[in-house]
Amino acid sequence: MTHQPTSEGLGPSPQISSQPGGPSLLEGIDAFLAAVEGLAAQVYAGRLSTAQALLRLGDDYAYIRLRDLAQPLRFLRQMAGAPPVRLGTAGFRRSLVDDENPARHYTAFLLVGYWLPRWAARWVLWGWEIAGFVRYGGKWSVPDMASGMMGVRHGRLVRRYGLTVLPGLAAAELAEPSVCPPPMGRSSGSSGPALRAA
C-alpha cells in the first residue's frame, strides 16, 4: 500500500496507511472508507467545502488534478497513470475489481458525476472505456463500467445532497457484502421478503 497525498493547499489528507517502518493502519476498502468518512466529517464541520474534499479525493486516489486541465496531455497521462495513494483490493466488491486499485476508477467517475450532468458523465465514461478497449488490445472491462456507473451515480447524489451521503453510499455499494448468519427464526433457505432498491 502506498500513501503520498498530493492535494495542494488543502492541508494533510487523513492518514490511512504508513511509510515503511511505521504502523500499518488500514488497507483496501477500509482505508478508502476511512478517508471518505474523514473528509465528510471535515465538510460537516465546515473546514472543507464539498468541492475541496472531492478535489482531494481525486488528487489522492485517481490522480485527477483539475488544475492541470490547461495541459491536456499531462492531464490525460496522469489519469491513465497510478495515483499517489493505492490501497489494494481488500474488501472491495469483487464484481468491481479488475486491477490492483479499484478505488482509482470509482473515484475518477465520482468526480465526473459530480462536475458534469449525468448524460455528459456517462458519455465520458463510455469514451474512456472505449479508449481503454483500444489501448488494451480489445479487452473490455465490465467491472470498470460497473464501478464507473456507480461513481457517476454517487457523484450526482453528492452534488444534490452533499458529501455527507458518500460514506454510506460507498460502504453499501463498494464493499464486498459480508457473510452473515441467517436471522433468528429463519432457515438458511429462506431469504425473507424482497427489498426494493431505491
How confident is the model over 88-114, as a mean pLDDT?
Answer: 94
Tell me, yes or no, whether 156 lies in a domain: yes
1-31 pLDDT, tens per residue?
444 444 444 444 444 443 444 444 789 999 9
Total count of domains within the chain: 1
Specify the pLDDT at position 22.
Answer: 40
Tell me, yes or no, whether 9 lies in a domain: no
Question: Across-strand partners of 92?
Answer: 175
Tell me, yes or no, whether 168 lies in a domain: yes
The residue range of the domain holding 39 is: 28-174
What's the CA gap between 7 and 52, in Å, rounded?
9
9 Cα distance to chain centroid: 22
| 121, burial (CB in 10 Å: exposed 0-12, middle 13-18, buried 19+) | buried
CB 82 within 8 A of CB 61: no
- The SS3 call for residue 180 is coil
Tell me, yes or no, whether 124 lies in a domain: yes
Question: Across-strand partners of 86?
Answer: 2
The predicted model scores a pTM of: 0.77
Query: Can you read off the three cell numbers belonging to residue 88?
Result: 489494494
Share of the chain above pLDDT 70, in %: 78
Tell me, yes or no, whether 196 lies in a domain: no
Tell me, yes or no, whether 86 lies in a domain: yes
Query: Higher model confidence: residue 182 or residue 153?
Result: 153
57-77 pLDDT, tens per residue?
999 999 988 888 888 888 888
